[in-house]
Structure 1
Amino acid sequence: MAAIINHKYIQGKKELLGTGSYGEVYTAELKVAIKQLRFSEAEINKSFEAEATNLLRAQHPNIIRLYGISGKHTLVMEYADNNPLDKYIHNKDSKITNSHRQNLMLQCAEGVAYLHSLTPLILHRDLKPANILLTNNYCTLKICDFGTAREIGTEMTAEKGTPAYRAPEINQTMKYTEKCDVYSFALILWEVMSGKKPFADQIEELIAIPYQTSVKNLRPNLDDVKLCENTEIMKDLIEQGWDKKPYMRPSMKMFALLLSLDHSSMKYLLKPSSEDYKDATKSY
């Protein structure tokens, strides 16, 4: 159960850190992050309960920590003192080595793999660089914004998440599994290893992205992947991750394993194992 935190301890001067799916996130004087939810009462309650419940269940070094609850609709969370991943990788003044890029994506893969290992497993459903925070001088990665997260087996909804990172099956059906997070992760991996925004030079209108990715099977240009040690292996891994068929995508556990290896070892394990295909067509 989350601690109940007296509202007076998080009053005072606040600074807006960012806006998530269901609310705004601020800093407080105690150097914690406080998320205040918005929208209608029914929507707030559903989002608040989902985010608080999932953050309480998810205790992992690469997932933002929930300290407690204050008032009706305020979450008091761990504060990440560096820019989020999107600002970090798209800042031309950031000097990021190829090995550091891979290490950050390894941490992200381990965090998502942990969510998928829980019983019942948790789908994040809105993985994107803006929802990935950095701390410890940009060395430690923390996944945040669980407002759209759901436990597998609960009611699913179509068109959840951000269009550029949303798996095709979410655009077309309410029947999907944790492999929707794998697709999103592959898009993030492409973005980190290319230094570009997905679809920025391919689609002018954001509204067209779901149609292009679902019906036309459009994906970012793999030839843009250059900021890694072995581009061919990385491109192969990304391509498998964003496969249109969810059951063809490797598991997040496999992604974490591959990204933990040096490139000479990675190529021998690149093809998904039989475990990745286990019960593959059950939900499709």
Structure 2
Amino acid sequence: MVEGCSYSFKEVKTVCCDSNFCNQIDSILTDITSIDNFTIIKKNPQTELWKGKYQNDNVAIKCYMPGASSSWERELKIYKSASSRNNNILRYIGADISRYYYCIVFDYYDNQSLYDFLRCPKNSMFGLSLNQIYMIAYTASKGLSYLHSNIFGADPKPTICHRDIKSKNILIKSICGNLNATINLTPIPRNKYQSDHCINYTKDSNLNKSNNNDKTYCSINCCISDLGLAITDDEDYSSIKLKVGTHRYMSPEILSETLDRLNFESFKMSDVYSFALVLWEIISCYNPFYPNPPFKLNCFHELPYHEFVSQNPSLDDMKTIVVDKNLRPSLQFNWYKSEKILPFLEIIKESWSSNPKSRLSAIRIKLTLQKSCSGMSII
């Protein structure tokens, strides 16, 4: 029985308003009744997010109301084309339709979102090390660059723009080992019972030790979620609504409505601007003296533009700050203590440029972060 609801899925008749599309759903679920132990996590006007149990594993279920069936169909098609081939996109498990809901089932991660991770008390007190911020940024950038890529051949994938990149839509898939240690990503071969999204890590004998000589290791892996507002380059996107997503993360060209609707690259560059703000959030928790600063540092996570706008800024508020005044979140002087952080800061500054054509591409961001991680023996 679903908490707060008066029925169980086992009591509902499966119906479908678009039989042609439903026949194409190659879900690994027989139907939604295979899931039990439901708990409602979050409610929105058009969707609900639940946690449930499927084959002894926790899963997340995103449920669209019947009036939002077109949004369900759209998101499902995008996930089916993207998530099965990249570990840094939230894995789609299956889908089903009931009389009351249109459902999509995903992996569930106990560590929740990047936003939650950055705001946890431990990180607020000690901050994050250089290795940790690079690994979080790098694995998230792998997801974005994959979305922005076009795959041809027998199993093609269109170019996808997310349109709502923010820290709450990036999930922490795994945190393995000791967060005080240098991060390493040496995969252990999967056994036949592990799916593609289950990655284990082993310690590298050449692993650099952290400042506190901790001999343990750590890995942090992220994935991008919530493709409900995403668009693809193989559809007609010339007349879509521009101002969707979260006001705080909207690019200057979205806020000023100057984005070139006829050029798909414009939407990709808008994603890059939003991702630069996420990178700023990550570095706002950076502790250059981690884990033992010589003096008290403020490593508490802040939202972008927190110094200029309220918790829930309006479109006009953001347009005034981002477009009219051309302001950006501040970069603190203590972030420059290490030369190794400079590439990270340059990515941020170039990627939130007011000129979309001056921003880095997602693949360029990934490769720059990859180079920095390799230079520090993180990957």
Same structural fold, with TM-score higher than 0.5 when normalized by the shorter chain: yes
Residue 258, structure 1, aligned to residue 368, structure 2: yes
- Seen in structure 2, the aligned counterparts of structure 1 residues 210 and 20 have a Cα distance that, compared at 3 Å, is farther
Tell me by how many angstroms 1:201 deviates.
1.6
Among residues 43, 58, 61, which one is paired with 2:87 in the alignment? 61
Q: 4+ residue stretches of structure 1 with deviation over 3 A?
A: 18-22, 227-233, 263-266
> Residue type of the partner of 1:89?
L
Q: Which residue of 1 aligns with 2:62?
A: 35
- Seen in structure 2, the aligned counterparts of structure 1 residues 68 and 209 have a Cα distance that, compared at 3 Å, is same
Higher mean C-alpha deviation, range 212-221 or range 236-245: 212-221
Q: Which residue of 1 aligns with 2:253?
A: 169
Tell me by how many angstroms 1:23 deviates.
2.1
- Seen in structure 2, the aligned counterparts of structure 1 residues 115 and 71 have a Cα distance that, compared at 3 Å, is same
- Seen in structure 2, the aligned counterparts of structure 1 residues 20 and 136 have a Cα distance that, compared at 3 Å, is farther
Tell me by how many angstroms 1:202 deviates.
1.7
Runs of 5+ consecutive residues of structure 2 not aligned to the other structure:
1-24, 151-156, 177-219, 286-301
Instruction: Please give the per-residue CA displacement for 1:223-266, whole angstroms capped at 9, x wherever unaligned.
Output: 26729843443222211000111111010000001111238979
SS of the residue 1:262 aligns to: helix
**Cα distance in structure 2, aligned partners of 1:110 and 1:127:** 14
- Seen in structure 2, the aligned counterparts of structure 1 residues 19 and 64 have a Cα distance that, compared at 3 Å, is farther
**Cα distance in structure 1, aligned partners of 2:47 and 2:131:** 34
Residue 147, structure 1, aligned to residue 147, structure 2: no
Tell me by how many angstroms 1:134 deviates.
1.0
**Cα distance in structure 2, aligned partners of 1:150 and 1:206:** 25
Instruction: Please give the per-residue CA displacement for 1:79-110, whole angstroms capped at 9, x wherever unaligned.
Output: 12212100111223135322111111101111
Alignment of 1:168-247 (within 5 A): 168-173=252-257, 175=261, 176-195=266-285, 196-204=302-310, 206-207=313-314, 208-223=317-332, 226=335, 229=338, 230-247=340-357
SS of the residue 1:14 aligns to: strand
- Cα contact 1:27–1:33 (8 A) shared by 2: yes
Among residues 34, 38, 42, which one is paired with 1:9 in the alignment? 34
TM-score by length of 2: 0.64
> Residue type of the partner of 2:320?
Y
Instruction: Please give the per-residue CA displacement for 1:45-72, whole angstroms capped at 9, x wherever unaligned.
Output: 2211221011111131000111111215
Give the % identical residues: 27
- Seen in structure 2, the aligned counterparts of structure 1 residues 202 and 134 have a Cα distance that, compared at 3 Å, is same
Higher mean C-alpha deviation, range 223-232 or range 84-93: 223-232
Q: Which residue of 2 aligns with 1:71?
A: 97
Tell me by how many angstroms 1:5 deviates.
3.9
Q: Which residue of 2 aligns with 1:272?
A: none
How many aligned positions are there?
262
- Cα contact 1:189–1:238 (8 A) shared by 2: yes
Tell me by how many angstroms 1:78 deviates.
1.3
Instruction: Please give the per-residue CA displacement for 1:113-162, whole angstroms capped at 9, x wherever unaligned.
Output: 01111253100000101011112226221111111011135323211111
- Seen in structure 2, the aligned counterparts of structure 1 residues 125 and 165 have a Cα distance that, compared at 3 Å, is same
**Which of the pair is proportionally richer in helix?**
1
- Seen in structure 2, the aligned counterparts of structure 1 residues 182 and 225 have a Cα distance that, compared at 3 Å, is farther
Q: Which has the larger radius of gyration?
A: 2
**Cα distance in structure 2, aligned partners of 1:154 and 1:225:** 46
Residue 124, structure 1, aligned to residue 149, structure 2: no
- Cα contact 2:134–2:373 (8 A) shared by 1: no
**Cα distance in structure 2, aligned partners of 1:154 and 1:218:** 33
- Cα contact 1:194–1:224 (8 A) shared by 2: no
- Cα contact 2:40–2:48 (8 A) shared by 1: no
SS of the residue 1:46 aligns to: helix
- Seen in structure 2, the aligned counterparts of structure 1 residues 222 and 21 have a Cα distance that, compared at 3 Å, is farther
- Seen in structure 2, the aligned counterparts of structure 1 residues 32 and 199 have a Cα distance that, compared at 3 Å, is same
- Seen in structure 2, the aligned counterparts of structure 1 residues 28 and 227 have a Cα distance that, compared at 3 Å, is farther
Runs of 5+ consecutive residues of structure 1 not aligned to the other structure:
267-284
SS of the residue 1:47 aligns to: helix
- Seen in structure 2, the aligned counterparts of structure 1 residues 107 and 214 have a Cα distance that, compared at 3 Å, is same
